[in-house]
Amino acid sequence: MEIWLKLSILLCVFGFVKEFRPSEPFVTPYLTEEGKNFTDQDIEVIFSTGTYAYLVEIIFVFLVTDLFRYKPVIVLDGVFAIITWSLLIWGKSILQMQVMEVFYAFFLAAEVAYYTYIYAQVDREHYQKVTSHTRAAYLFGRALSGIVSQTLVSTGTLNYYQLNFISFAAVISATVWALFLPPVKHSIYFNRTNIDRQDVITGNEHHGVIIEDSVSKVPSPELSQNAYAETHESMPHSVETHDTSRLQNVQKGLTNRWKIAYYYLWKDFTSAYTNTYVVKWSCWWALATCGFLQVLNYIQLVWELIITENNMDSNTELYHGAVEAIYTVIGATASLGCGWLRLNWQMVGEATLAICSLIEGTLLIVSTMANSLPAAYTYYILFGIIFHTMITVANTEIAEHLNENSYGLIFGVNTFLALVFQSILTVIVVDERVLALDTRTQFLVYGGYYMVLGILFGCMSVFTLCKKEIRGQKLWLPKETE
């Protein structure tokens, strides 16, 4: 077996196990049932804490991930999950649940290490394959989690509280597995192995941040950590000035390492966001992800409201797990099918995004009028399938127009923007100090949000299709030749 495939399998096992969390589809019923007894308003306060924490943590975690070369952050990802489920199981107060959400946000933010670790370990020629492997592991873990949770709840084998112990065991297992992942010797920004000397010198003229000597004097990570200690032991006390000089060189090397990281970060950032095509797809990615995360956070409150309004008793069988499994499996299949589509996205991209956004908005608005769980479940499944399908297309279109190795950075920035928009939306719609809308009205706002997004990209599509160079293009691209 080839080394790149072994590494991919090792990482995918971690990804699958950490996503096997059967308690998540039933987290809201668990928090509202006897033992926790939180109200819908309490849950909104708890979940909004996670939104704000995620926003603060995502950029910090991204930089730390590159600085410490992935594996430590992957291990911490598991540790954060262990702390999260410990608090979820044994915590009782709103404050404890808010602390739990902070650690859960760390857990989500640290997933960037899972998705970027493999790129630092394998050659570029294997990127497409390992990307599909890690994505499949994620989706398969979530799908199986939904199937298992629904089966256990429907058969009465376990209740919502007991499901948390399976999730707890899974994240512990994932953390232990992460300890055996091979360490990464280099990273994209802070621990580069291929610094372009001429490029850096040229960059110095424009940014004033990197000198030519920094290319040759940046020490290895091991030297940075141990150079002074080794120097102090090996040199006579009579030449302490050399110790001081060596320490200054190490400090200078560390400073240059940060300067080089800044230079390449800025270079990749400006290269991506001065490309109007990348900006266009990134805007939709961030705005659509913002809406999806908001729906994902609060959809179970809509289902709880339907249960209450229909006077269903506490023994009513819920199918939250089945819904999770269905939309994940169908969404994964649709996403895979997108890889075979040879559509000219430069021609029909905005129009497709507009149509899909309008449909998503319609589904959310209709869901506010739903009075039965099966109907509400159906609307959510359709919404999730459309989102995952188009987000896959967006990921592909963005990636194809980026410089090599900048995927993680742009993904991180787009995620940060999505969280900024989500935080603003949460403050306006959910926060008690502003509108504090009821659940159904909130989803009416979210539906309107997607409708506006659809109209915006509809206008953009009209402008694009009116361009002479676009009108002359074909709708379908020719098949790729081997």
Same fold, 1-196 and 258-474: yes
- Give me the pLDDT at residue 232, please: 47
Distance CA 419, CA 92 (A): 28
Q: Which of 133-142, 204-213, 264-273, 306-315 has the lowest mean pLDDT?
A: 204-213
Top pLDDT among 342 and 455 is at 455
The token duo for 146 is 């939904």
CA-CA distance, 332 to 278, in Å (whole number)?
24
- What is the pTM assigned to this prediction? 0.81
pLDDT above 90 covers what percent of the chain? 48
So what CATH class is 1-196? mainly alpha
Three-state SS at 343: strand
Q: Per-residue pLDDT tens for 399-458?
A: 778 876 677 788 889 999 999 999 999 999 998 888 889 999 999 999 999 999 999 999
Q: What is the mean pLDDT of the chain?
A: 83
Confidence of residue 240 (pLDDT cuts 50, 70, 90): low
Which distant-in-sequence residues (6+ apart) come within 8 Å of 461 by Cβ? 348, 349, 350, 351, 353, 354
Tell which CATH classification among 3.30.365.10, 3.40.640.10, 1.20.1250.20, 3.40.50.300 matches the domain 258-474. 1.20.1250.20
330 vs 220, residue with greater confidence: 330
Nearest to 324 by CA among 105, 104, 43, 22: 22
Instruction: State residue 47's pLDDT score.
Output: 93
Domain boundaries, the chain: 1-196, 258-474
Indicate the helix (H) or strand (E) that contains 100.
helix 94-109
Q: According to the model, what pLDDT value does residue 98 have?
A: 96
Q: Residues 313-341: what's their mean pLDDT? A: 79
Which neighbouring-strand residues pair with 343? 476
Q: If we measure between CA atoms, which residue out of 268, 388, 319 comes closest to residue 25? A: 319
